[in-house]
Amino acid sequence: MTKSTSLDYEPGVLRVFQSKDETKAFYNKIAKVYDLLAEHSEQPMREIGLQMLAAQAGESILEVGFGTGHCLVELAQSVGPSGRVKGIDLSESMVEETRTLLKETELEDRVELHCGDAAHLPFESNSIDGIFTSFTLELFDTPELPQVLAEWQRVLRPGGRLAVVAISKEGKQGIVMKAYEWTHKHFPNLMDCRPIFVSQAIEAAGFTIEKKKAEHMWVPVEVVLGVKPL
């Protein structure tokens, strides 16, 4: 990937060292075991983000980076039969895992799945009421973050909400975080996410921050609700 200087809101943030093709291949490989690897620690964080988004009956909601689809199920239940949920993920295997889950829960008629790059969304401008994403924003390299967030803002209706759960550069940066960042730098195929300044990136993209919560798994996590200006 082309290297450039860090953005003002990303001092000390590591770069992304894998290409998108490498990231796709990694998630294709681990799709069937992803829940065993990460769901126990990540799901409580996702629940906080879903509560912050507060999807309502009849709304149109998009999840970016839906993984194995558990949050899509909750979103589909929240919007009800009159609502619509869309999802986009880079991994074909994650899409297949999610398709199976939606059939099992009999919610496939409420959810539209797409396999693709969330930096280029296949949706009309001003067409989505809310976007939810967890442990995905930090997979985009620093120079791409403004473009990605601008694309997400494009598809949101004025006043639309963006709920982001992401590993945070804010908070206590202890030994565990240093070890995490060292692993990301030297073995990015094992630790592809890296901590970022979440709320600063969202605010710099033009969103109004309505809520922000500092959480902790084994590393700091930010849960942020941004709103597209009217």
Q: How far apart are CA 15 and CA 35, in angstroms?
A: 26
In a domain, 91, yes or no: yes
Look up the pTM and report it: 0.91
How confident is the model over 193-208, as pLDDT tens digits?
789 999 999 999 999 9
Indicate the SS3 state at residue 219: coil
Residue 114 CB partners (closer than 8 Å, separation 6+): 86, 87, 88, 89, 95, 122
Asked if 152 and 206 count as a contact pair (C-beta separation under 8 A), the reply is no
Could you list the pLDDT tens digit for every one of the 230 residues in the chain? 333 344 555 668 888 988 999 999 999 999 999 888 776 789 999 999 999 999 999 999 999 999 999 999 999 999 999 999 999 999 999 999 999 999 999 999 999 999 999 999 999 999 999 999 999 999 999 999 999 999 999 999 999 999 999 999 987 677 777 777 877 777 766 667 789 999 999 999 999 999 999 998 888 999 999 999 99
In a domain, 3, yes or no: no
Number of domains comprising the chain: 1
pLDDT on residue 183: 76
In a domain, 200, yes or no: yes
Asked if 228 and 160 count as a contact pair (C-beta separation under 8 A), the reply is yes
How confident is the model over 74-124, as pLDDT tens digits?
999 999 999 999 999 999 999 999 999 999 999 999 999 999 999 999 999
DSSP structural state of residue 174:
-
Structural domain including 80 reads 20-227
* CATH number of the domain within which 116 lies: 3.40.50.150
Phi and psi torsions of 52, nearest 5°: -70, -40
In a domain, 94, yes or no: yes
